[in-house]
């Protein structure tokens, strides 16, 4: 067993993994040390990344090369820093407004074109492929498409909590709405169950990966592997 | 006729009257009746006067006393005689009920006596002819001591110029009519009374008191009484007009001598005779109002005698004094006790006492020691207590119901329940320890001791097959852009899922360029490449592997990348131009890449890439390596064709390794994964069954306790 950088990093990783696993027995200093180290290293690494991969190539280098258009992000960034001062914080509203407006516009446009319309189109395509299918597959496609359509509509109806208020009558959702709401609740429960299963799968995979790492380290220390 | 003198006002009243007609005072009936002779009752009246009021002015003793006969002017004596005669006549008329039918030609004795009296009276000369200015009268007035008669003659002469059958017979000073100005003649007396003249009717009592006061010098000085023309006349006529008959209702018969409605030129006596009892009294008494422009003041104040002057000042107390006398301080009038008691006492105006603030001396500053300095505004008035607002919330019924549901959930999840806290902690600790041991056993046993064969699925997921096919279809000369947007928490899972895909790409010698929207993503991706680079040595060259570094801006950065990747990420991680050299020199747009592979554990990150970048890819395939926990959320995008395939979790990795026929870590640990997943499912199932069996809502427990 040679002492090299990989071995040192393996030891560090092993120790930190044990510190994190110690949380199985409750909160302890080892776990707090591992989490604090992770946060600090991540922040430091993020600062280095920002400086070397954002500020230098996109602001300083263009300024040094005489690109005056780089003054605009410099000015906006300077104004954004005024948010630190209560007296000058109003000056920071301009870049914040710019960021929020552009971000909202992009997000809305992407959601409409990339999710809403395409998902509607995907639901339609399920039925569109029915004529070209074989007779045995037609019913399957129709059922599949109908199931997806029913689940989509029912899930949307479930989140409709508004009712028409009538004076003197107990306001409640109509029976049809309540029926679709119940169906939507069923579909939502299945979805959340699937997500929970995915979360469990991910965590078990992570557990297996770390457990295998520990076993390998131990084998390395013991000279078994 | 018997009369009784009022002890209060001193006026004579009918003997049968119980109250004074003038002042409504109770009359004493033990007073000896006055004699029928007018002179007698006048004497009695004089004798009683001093005892009637204390405030009566004492007679001036310096003036020589004269016999009563000489003191009373003749006209006054005749007036009183006439009054007596009237009363007699009224009493006779009322007693016989024939007064209304008495012939006018029958002149009673008293009338003849009155008519003859002036001739008999030595002190009273014949009334002077005002129009003719008889020398007889003029001489006699100069000789007689009653100069006032001359004064009266001077203003009365105009009124009596017209011929009157009774004018020569009746003395000028006899009737009250001459005392009155023409405007106040009996003709308009009733109207004056009805209109309640302020100077006469309302103050008749005051006038009467003045008369009483004026009577004193009249008696003592034997001088005629100076009266206010209006006041005296009205008082006299008013007294006559209003004076009721104690024995008969003479008012109803209209026999008041003053109430005669006769022409102005006629004497009152003539009018008395001319009264017709069968006519309405108002018709006879109240003639149409006339205004005589020739009305004169009854007296000329400049010609008044000396003894009248002071009397005038006292009698005309209501008149406004001249300016030069305004400053003279008059002594307050001495009123009789009974009058003072009746008079309204002025209310004492109580002024609230204003407590003057104490004059505090300045204690400091340049004005120290000086009292009464202006104080500055106190600061306590400038500050008010801050207004408090109610923090109470209005909670609706539906909100209360939902709150109750949330409370029930919280109660069920609460471990540190009172009483059961220690037990719950110990039980939870034991349960946790058991689960940990089981999980570690399930993981370690297959790894360490027993080789458990994995169950390989015969059918592969569609997304894995599509991913495999997409990678197989990639051209070799086109680089593949990899977006490593994941962090260290799920690095192990993603690493296992990504490794077979990267191995497949490297096996095909496809150039790779990677970037990250996460600061640590690029570093983790480099860590994942490390074992593969050792296998595929070609990727040690920068022409096969390009690190574009960190892409800032989130979705905005993605949008910029989709529009112009070279401008968005012009430099690589070594700050060298990335787009001028291989393998990116031929890339101008994202669609120029062979494929886009997004590696992320977050479904939202994958969605951002799909929404912002996918439209710019065109027909370029987009693949996703994602954590198993986000795979369900990505399935709709795969079904809609927005992504060409994806790998999620260890199962997909194992399937992909099987497809590539390059088994690595995924297949090696697949058995462990399956065992552990089976154990986890069993634990969840058992836990659910136990929880369902032992489930007892906290609300029901509380209800049971309360019951």
The string of DSSP letters for B587-612 reads: -SSGGGSSEEEEEES-HHHHHHHHHH
- Considering only the beta carbons, identify the residue of B519, B601, B639 that sits closest to A45: B519
DSSP B525-544: HHHHHHHHHHH-GGGGSTTT
- Considering only the beta carbons, identify the residue of B440, B496, B629 that sits closest to A195: B629
DSSP state of B302: G
CA–CA distance, B124 with B75 (Å, rounded to integer): 8
Chain A contact for B436 (CB, 8 A cutoff):
yes
pLDDT per 10-residue tile (average), chain B, 707 residues: 76 81 78 49 55 44 46 76 77 50 50 51 43 41 53 52 44 44 42 44 52 48 42 40 40 42 49 54 53 48 50 47 55 74 64 58 74 68 67 77 83 60 72 87 82 82 92 90 88 89 91 89 88 85 86 89 89 84 87 92 92 90 92 89 91 90 82 89 90 71 62
Omega of the bond prior to B313 within 30 degrees of 0, cis? no
Strand partners, B4: B13
Binary contact (B628, A211; C-beta < 8 A): no
Chain B contact for A67 (CB, 8 A cutoff):
no
> What confidence score (pLDDT) does residue B598 get?
94
> What confidence score (pLDDT) does residue B66 get?
46
- Considering only the beta carbons, identify the residue of A115, A122, A213 that sits closest to B611: A115
Chain A contact for B570 (CB, 8 A cutoff):
yes
End-to-end Cα separation, chain B, in angstroms: 113
Strand partners, B485: B600
Binary contact (B632, A110; C-beta < 8 A): no
User: For strand B595-600 and strand B480-485, is the pairing parallel, antiparallel, or unpaired?
Assistant: parallel
> What confidence score (pLDDT) does residue A96 get?
92
User: For strand B480-485 and strand B645-648, is the pairing parallel, antiparallel, or unpaired?
Assistant: unpaired
- Could you give the strand order of the β-sheet that contains B622-626, starting from the edge strand earlier in sequence? B545-550, B512-516, B480-485, B595-600, B622-626, B645-648
CA–CA distance, B171 with B393 (Å, rounded to integer): 106
Which tokens go with A93?
């509203």
Binary contact (A57, B570; C-beta < 8 A): yes
Which tokens go with B125?
């000369």
Q: Which of B469, B417, B450 is nearest to B656 (CA)?
A: B469
Which tokens go with B15?
């003997």
- Considering only the beta carbons, identify the residue of B550, B559, B649 that sits closest to A106: B559
Q: Is B446 helix (H, G, I), strand (E, B) or coil?
A: helix
Q: Which of B266, B650, B365 is nearest to B490 (CA)?
A: B650
CA–CA distance, B443 with B157 (Å, rounded to integer): 155
> What confidence score (pLDDT) does residue A130 get?
83
Strand partners, B577: B571
CA–CA distance, B45 with A60 (Å, rounded to integer): 136
CA–CA distance, B428 with B425 (Å, rounded to integer): 5
Q: CA-CA distances (angstroms) from residue B454 to B266, B446, B494, B507, B668?
A: 159, 10, 20, 26, 9
B-chain residue closest to A218, CA distance: B448
CA-based nearest distance B386→chain A, Å: 24
Q: Is the CB of residue B541 less than 8 Å from the CB of residue A66?
A: no
CA–CA distance, B560 with B569 (Å, rounded to integer): 9
CA–CA distance, B575 with B571 (Å, rounded to integer): 5
Binary contact (A114, B573; C-beta < 8 A): no
**Dihedral class, residue B598 (left if φ above 0, else alpha if ψ from -120 to 50, else beta):** beta
Q: Is the CB of residue B650 less than 8 Å from the CB of residue B493?
A: yes
The number of beta carbons lying within 10 Å of the beta carbon of residue B326 is: 8
Q: Domain spans of chain B?
A: 1-56, 67-93+106-242+280-323, 462-670
> What confidence score (pLDDT) does residue B256 get?
43
- B:348-407 residues touching chain A, CB 8 A cutoff: none
> What confidence score (pLDDT) does residue B639 get?
86
Q: Which of B207, B194, B244 is nearest to B21 (CA)?
A: B244
What is the pTM for the complete model shown?
A: 0.55
Q: Is the CB of residue A175 less than 8 Å from the CB of residue A167?
A: no
Which tokens go with B1?
């006729």
Phi, psi of A153 (to 5 degrees): -65, -40
Q: Is the CB of residue B295 less than 8 Å from the CB of residue B156?
A: no
CA–CA distance, B461 with A42 (Å, rounded to integer): 36
DSSP state of B371: B
DSSP B102-150: --TT---HHHHHHHHHHHH-SS-PPPP-TTTT-HHHHHHHHHSS-HHHH
Phi, psi of B646 (to 5 degrees): -155, 155
Q: Is B645 helix (H, G, I), strand (E, B) or coil?
A: strand
Binary contact (B672, A118; C-beta < 8 A): no
Q: Is the CB of residue B680 less than 8 Å from the CB of residue A200?
A: yes
CATH of domain B462-670: 3.40.50
Q: Is the CB of residue B643 less than 8 Å from the CB of residue B610?
A: yes
- A vs B: CB pairs below 8 A: 143
Strand partners, B3: B14
Q: Domain spans of chain A?
A: 1-66, 129-225
Q: What ipTM, to 2 d.p.?
A: 0.87
The number of beta carbons lying within 10 Å of the beta carbon of residue B586 is: 12
> What confidence score (pLDDT) does residue B518 get?
87
> What confidence score (pLDDT) does residue B423 get?
65
Chain A contact for B677 (CB, 8 A cutoff):
yes
Strand partners, B371: B361
The number of beta carbons lying within 10 Å of the beta carbon of residue B548 is: 25
Q: Which residues of B touch A113 (CB under 8 A)?
A: 611, 615
Residue listed under structure tokens 């208020």: A165
> What confidence score (pLDDT) does residue A183 get?
93
CA–CA distance, B89 with B86 (Å, rounded to integer): 5
CA–CA distance, B165 with B266 (Å, rounded to integer): 9
Residue ranges, chain A, pLDDT below 70? 1-3, 166-171, 225
CA–CA distance, A80 with B98 (Å, rounded to integer): 128
Residue listed under structure tokens 């634990």: B683
> What confidence score (pLDDT) does residue A105 get?
93
**Dihedral class, residue B661 (left if φ above 0, else alpha if ψ from -120 to 50, else beta):** left
CA-based nearest distance B517→chain A, Å: 11
Burial (Cβ within 10 Å: 0-12, 13-18, ≥19) of residue B249: exposed
């Amino acid at each position: 067993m040679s002492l090299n950088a990989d071995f040192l990093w393996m030891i560090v990783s092993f120790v930190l993994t044990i510190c994190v696993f110690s949380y199985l027995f409750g909160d302890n200093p080892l776990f707090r040390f591992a989490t604090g180290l992770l946060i600090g290293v991540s922040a430091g690494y993020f600062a280095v990344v920002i400086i070397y991969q954002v500020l230098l190539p996109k602001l300083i280098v263009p300024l040094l090369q005489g690109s005056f258009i780089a003054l605009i992000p410099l000015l906006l960034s300077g104004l954004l820093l005024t948010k630190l001062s209560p007296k000058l914080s109003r000056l920071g509203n301009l870049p914040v407004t710019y960021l929020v407006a552009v971000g909202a516009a992009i997000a809305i446009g992407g959601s409409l074109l990339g999710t809403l319309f395409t998902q509607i189109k995907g639901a339609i395509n399920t039925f569109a492929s029915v004529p070209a299918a074989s007779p045995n597959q037609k019913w399957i496609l129709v059922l599949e498409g109908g199931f997806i359509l029913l689940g989509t509509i029912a899930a949307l109806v479930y989140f409709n909590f508004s009712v028409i208020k009538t004076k003197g009558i107990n306001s409640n959702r109509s029976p049809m709405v309540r029926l679709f709401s119940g169906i939507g609740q069923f579909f939502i429960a299945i979805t959340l169950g699937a997500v929970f299963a995915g979360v469990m799968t991910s965590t078990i995979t992570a557990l297996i990966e770390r457990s295998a790492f520990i076993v390998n380290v131990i084998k390395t220390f013991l000279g078994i592997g | 006729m018997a009369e009784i003198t009022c002890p209060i006002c001193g006026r004579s009243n009918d003997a049968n009257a119980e109250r004074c007609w003038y002042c409504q005072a109770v009359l004493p009936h033990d007073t000896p009746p006055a004699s029928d002779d007018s002179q007698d009752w006048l004497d009695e009246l004089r004798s009683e006067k001093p005892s009637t009021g204390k405030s009566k002015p004492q007679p001036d003793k310096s003036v020589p006393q004269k016999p009563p006969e000489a003191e009373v002017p003749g006209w006054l004596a005749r007036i009183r005689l006439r009054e007596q005669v009237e009363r007699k006549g009224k009493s006779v008329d009322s007693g016989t009920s024939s007064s209304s039918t008495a012939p006018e030609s029958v002149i009673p004795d008293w009338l003849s006596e009155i008519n003859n009296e002036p001739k008999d009276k030595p002190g009273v000369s014949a009334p002077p002819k005002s129009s003719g200015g008889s020398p007889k009268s003029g001489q006699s007035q100069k000789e007689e001591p009653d100069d006032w008669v001359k004064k009266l003659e001077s203003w009365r002469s105009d009124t009596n110029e017209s011929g009157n059958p009774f004018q020569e017979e009746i003395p000028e000073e006899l009737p009250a009519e001459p005392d009155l100005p023409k405007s106040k003649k009996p003709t308009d007396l009733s109207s004056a009374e009805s209109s309640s003249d302020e100077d006469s009717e309302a103050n008749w009592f005051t006038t009467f008191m003045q008369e009483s006061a004026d009577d004193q010098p009249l008696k003592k000085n034997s001088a005629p009484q100076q009266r206010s023309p209006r006041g005296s006349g009205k008082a006299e006529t008013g007294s006559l007009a209003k004076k009721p008959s104690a024995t008969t209702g003479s008012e109803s018969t209209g026999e008041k001598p003053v109430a005669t409605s006769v022409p102005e030129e006629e004497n009152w006596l003539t009018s008395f005779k001319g009264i017709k009892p069968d006519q309405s009294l108002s018709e006879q008494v109240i003639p149409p109002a006339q205004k005589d422009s020739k009305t004169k003041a009854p007296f000329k104040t400049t010609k008044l005698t000396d003894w009248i002057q002071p009397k005038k000042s006292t009698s005309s107390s209501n008149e406004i004094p001249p300016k030069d006398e305004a400053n003279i301080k008059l002594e307050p009038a001495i009123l009789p006790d009974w009058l003072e008691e009746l008079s309204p006492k002025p209310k004492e105006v109580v002024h609230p006492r204003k407590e003057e603030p104490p004059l505090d001396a300045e204690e400091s500053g340049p004005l120290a020691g000086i009292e009464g300095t202006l104080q500055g505004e106190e600061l306590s008035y400038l500050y008010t207590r801050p207004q408090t607002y109610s923090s109470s919330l209005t909670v609706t019924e539906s909100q209360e119901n939902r709150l109750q549901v949330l409370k029930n959930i919280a109660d069920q999840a609460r471990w540190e329940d009172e009483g059961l806290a220690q037990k719950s902690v110990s039980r939870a600790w034991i349960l946790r320890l058991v689960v940990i041991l089981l999980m570690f056993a399930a993981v370690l046993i297959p790894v360490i001791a027993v080789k458990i064969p994995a169950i390989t699925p015969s059918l592969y997921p569609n997304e894995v097959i599509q991913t495999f096919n997409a990678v197989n279809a990639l051209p070799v000369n086109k680089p593949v852009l990899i977006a490593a947007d994941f962090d260290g928490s799920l690095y192990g899972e993603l690493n296992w899922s990504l490794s077979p895909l990267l191995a497949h790409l490297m096996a095909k010698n496809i150039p790779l360029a990677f970037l990250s929207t996460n600061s640590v993503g690029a570093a983790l991706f480099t860590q994942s490449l490390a074992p593969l680079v050792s296998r595929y040595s070609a990727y040690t060259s920068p022409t096969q592997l390009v690190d574009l570094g960190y892409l800032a801006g989130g979705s905005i950065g993605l949008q910029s990348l989709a529009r112009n990747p070279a401008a968005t990420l012009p430099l690589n991680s070594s700050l060298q131009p990335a787009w001028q050299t291989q393998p990116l020199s031929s890339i101008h747009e994202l669609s120029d890449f062979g494929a886009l592979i997004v590696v992320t554990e977050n479904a939202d990150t994958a969605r951002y890439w799909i929404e912002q970048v996918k439209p710019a890819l065109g027909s370029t395939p987009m693949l996703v390596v994602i954590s198993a926990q986000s795979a369900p959320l990505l399935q709709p995008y795969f079904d809609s064709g927005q992504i060409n395939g994806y790998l999620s979790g260890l199962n997909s990795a194992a399937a992909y390794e099987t497809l590539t026929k390059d088994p690595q870590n995924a297949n090696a640990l697949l058995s462990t994964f399956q065992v552990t997943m089976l154990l986890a499912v069993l634990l969840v199932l058992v836990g659910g069954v136990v929880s369902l069996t032992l489930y007892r809502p906290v609300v029901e427990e509380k209800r049971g306790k309360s019951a």
